[in-house]
Structure 1
Amino acid sequence: MKAYVFPGQGAQFVGMGLDLYEKYPEAQELFEKANDILGFAITDLMFEGTAEDLKETKVTQPAIFLHSVIMSKVMGEDFKPDMVAGHSLGEFSALVANGVLNFEDGLKLVSQRAKAMQKACELQPSTMAAVLGLEDSVVEKVCSEIEGIVVPANYNCPGQLVISGEVEAINTACEKLKEAGARRALVLPVGGAFHSPLMEPAREELAAAIEATDFSPPSCAIYQNVPTTAVTDPEAIKANLIAQLTAPVKWTQSVQQMVADGATLFTEVGPGKVLQGLVKKIHKEAETSSAILS
């Protein structure tokens, strides 16, 4: 069975999407439509902007979404998923790819999500850190014993977990995790504590936008970050998408479930190859590839 997976924030690169724009009339049309919807020329930033330009959350999230979704559209008949999943932001790309959201609504929601997250980041100094070489249960235990807000945020693959929270609590956690045997506990250059209780203001704002958007029945199941199991009910998909902002991204568990349900080939659609690497670490026997365009 074919699983298509869609990357999240961090996969952006300078010049992303320019090859699609130049080669495919359909891509050009969708990029121009995106400029109109967003109210600024995101194509200028994607095609000619600096790495610094692309790091801004309100640019990064729509840029990665556009790259992934437009790539799936120009694949045409070659795009035939049996199941889909997306890492954090990538869940929105996956939902357009499997027909739950249309292009316009998906982009509007991603833009609103990015702005809401940016605002939440500005309310309180917060950050994230990558923890390598420890069992998930050890990281969970250390986080639970620290004063202040610090929680597991991204279960990326066995031995790689990202934590999220208040700056001081994260710094304390990094020290404790190193003492507990972590190979590395490294604060990340991010704007805030994504997938933690500190995103509650963003969750409330996005909830209203999601509730007001039409979600259609999907062409295939999506394995969402929150329940990690196959979901096909549009109302359940909405609820999980809202919960995702303050809940951890359970990528390890999602991939394990997809494999258990018959996934044999994981194709990454969008910028980079991060998810292919994670899938291989989660399930060594899995076949992985990048989306191929004709």
Structure 2
Amino acid sequence: MKAYIFPGQGAQFTGMGLDLYEKSPIAQDLFEKANNILGFSITDIMFEGDAEELKQTKVTQPAIFLHSVILAKVLGDDFNPEMVAGHSLGELSALVVNKVLSFEDGLKLVSKRALAMQKACEVQKSTMAAVLGLEDNVVEEVCEGVDGIVVAANYNCPGQLVISGEVDAINKACDLLKEKGARRALVLPVGGGFHSPMMEPAREELAKAIEETEFNEPICPVYQNVVAKAVTNPDEIKENLILQLTAPVKWTQCIKAMIADGGSEFVEVGPGKVLQGLMRKIDRTVTASRAELV
């Protein structure tokens, strides 16, 4: 079975999407529609902006979403998903391409998500750290023993787990994880502690927007970050999407579930090759490639 996977924040680069805009009238129309919906010219920043401009939360998340979704639409008949999944933000891209959300509603939710997360970061300082070279259960146990909020946030691949929470608790956890034998326990240059209880204000704000948005029957199952299994019921999809902001991204578990359900050919749709790299570390027996516009 053919599985399409969609990247999250961090995959952005200067000039992203310009090739799509130049080669496809469909892409041009969708990018212009996006500028109108967002109320600013995101295409100017995507195509010509510098790395600092692209790093703004209100830009980064819509930019990655647009690159992914528009590429999928431009592929036309070559795009035939039998299962989809997205890493964090990428889950919204997956929900548009499998017809749960319209392009317009998906973009509005991505924009609201980005702004709500930014606001939550300003309420209380928080951060994330990448932990390499330890079993997941060891990292979880260390986090549980630290005073303050620190939790497992991104199960990216075996031996690579991102933790999230309060700054002091993250620093303490990093020290303890190094003592436990972590190859690295490195604080990341991110705006806040995503996929942790620190995002509760954002979850509440986004929940209202999600509840007011129409969710349709999908054309294929979506393997959602929160439950790491196939979901097809629109009400369940909606609930899982609300929970996603404060719950961990179970990416390793999602990919393993897709493979167990017959996924054998994985295609990353969007900027970068991050998910391809993770695929090789999760299971080398399946093929992983990148969608390309010919």
Band the TM-score falls in, shorter-chain normalisation? over 0.9
| Aligned 1:149-228 pairs, distance under 5 A | 149-228=149-228
User: Which secondary structure does the structure 1 equivalent of 2:30 belong to?
Assistant: helix
Q: Percent identity?
A: 74
Q: Give the aligned length.
A: 294
Determine whether 1:257 maps to 2:257: yes
Cα distance between partner residues in 1 of 2:159 and 2:54:
29
- In the TM superposition, residue 196 of structure 1 has moved relative to its aligned partner by 0.2
Partner amino acid, structure 2, of 1:183: R
| Aligned 1:2-151 pairs, distance under 5 A | 2-151=2-151
User: Which secondary structure does the structure 1 equivalent of 2:208 belong to?
Assistant: helix
- In the TM superposition, residue 208 of structure 1 has moved relative to its aligned partner by 0.4
Cα distance between partner residues in 1 of 2:293 and 2:77:
11
User: Which secondary structure does the structure 2 equivalent of 1:134 belong to?
Assistant: coil
Q: CA RMSD in A?
A: 0.5
- In the TM superposition, residue 57 of structure 1 has moved relative to its aligned partner by 1.1
Cα distance between partner residues in 2 of 1:167 and 1:286:
38
Question: Unmatched 5+ residue regions in structure 1?
Answer: none
- In the TM superposition, residue 12 of structure 1 has moved relative to its aligned partner by 0.3
Cα distance between partner residues in 2 of 1:4 and 1:293:
15
Length-normalised TM-score, structure 2:
1.00
Determine whether 1:276 maps to 2:276: yes
- In the TM superposition, residue 293 of structure 1 has moved relative to its aligned partner by 2.0
Cα distance between partner residues in 2 of 1:288 and 1:193:
30
- In the TM superposition, residue 76 of structure 1 has moved relative to its aligned partner by 0.2
- In the TM superposition, residue 292 of structure 1 has moved relative to its aligned partner by 2.4
Partner amino acid, structure 1, of 2:86: G
Q: Partner of 1:245 in structure 2? A: 245
- In the TM superposition, residue 284 of structure 1 has moved relative to its aligned partner by 1.2
Partner amino acid, structure 2, of 1:122: E
User: Which secondary structure does the structure 2 equivalent of 1:267 belong to?
Assistant: strand
Partner amino acid, structure 2, of 1:33: K
Partner amino acid, structure 1, of 2:194: F
Q: Partner of 1:266 in structure 2? A: 266
User: Which secondary structure does the structure 2 equivalent of 1:214 belong to?
Assistant: coil
Question: Unmatched 5+ residue regions in structure 2?
Answer: none
Partner amino acid, structure 1, of 2:181: G
Query: Which whole-Å deviations, capped at 9, do the CAs of 1:59-81 have from their partners, x for residues lacking one?
Result: 10000000000000000000001
Query: Which whole-Å deviations, capped at 9, do the CAs of 1:200-255 have from their partners, x for residues lacking one?
Result: 00000000000000000000000000010000000000000000000000000000
Length-normalised TM-score, structure 1:
1.00
Moved over 6 A (4+): none
Partner amino acid, structure 1, of 2:126: S
Cα distance between partner residues in 1 of 2:55 and 2:186:
19
User: Which secondary structure does the structure 2 equivalent of 1:75 belong to?
Assistant: helix
Higher mean displacement: 283-292 or 232-241 = 283-292
- In the TM superposition, residue 279 of structure 1 has moved relative to its aligned partner by 1.1
- In the TM superposition, residue 286 of structure 1 has moved relative to its aligned partner by 1.2
- In the TM superposition, residue 56 of structure 1 has moved relative to its aligned partner by 1.1
